[in-house]
Structure 1
């Protein structure tokens, strides 16, 4: 028994259809990223709603596959509907896009070397798309104990 309608279940893949490779989706991953990758890979078949549904189900793994099989019988009528219930179920896994202000959360630990602090700070800064340099500099200084501020200016290249 399936959560797909009979119409979806009875639809066969097109002739010469070759199953593309998909990275299986696991519960802790970003569902938006998985859907984007899936849609990109299946772009030639996006008009075949039944195929989009059936193949998507094969990309789910582990507990997510178990979740899929708990959906009510014949409750999924389209890929948009399947995408919606999938996104709703796993929305807590969505990647949070950080802003430059995130850098104010980074503080130099008392036991941490300055080199390690700079390395950790730069690694976090690299994760921020379009990071504002002024905010980054202020956050870097803010994370230092007061006695290290002068030395911090030298490291950041000011």
Structure 2
């Protein structure tokens, strides 16, 4: 099953132990059926998605480089992901915490629509909303420098700040 079917047949690849190591790390304890709901995008497909949904400006290659006043402005605050990230283990699974509950409730509207973790213009992962609850620590182990979650089907997004703040919004809504 391709999560990124709308981007073309060669847009995604299955996870691999070397480049995608956190998904296979025992500390994160991600089940095989959950891993099947995650794909890495090729750099070209990632760039296409970024250009279409985040920014066409060539100097905006990372979420932290988006210009002031960018259309993706946060309107909702979430829990502190950093404190919870440090506590994740096989005894304290990621899907049992406040961050997973926030993400699940935020991206629940279109359960089948993928959520994209955008570390940069060329490093993107596609996940089902169900997999996101279990895999968010893996994603932040790959990049915790201001990555973006985005669900094109709903226009919803979430930013992870490097200091632990979690904030989200929807395209078209103005910050309060």
TM-score, structure 2 normalization: 0.22
Rg (Cα) greater in structure: 1
Higher relative contact order (CA 8 A, sep 6+): 2
Larger strand proportion of the pair: 2
Larger helix proportion of the pair: 1
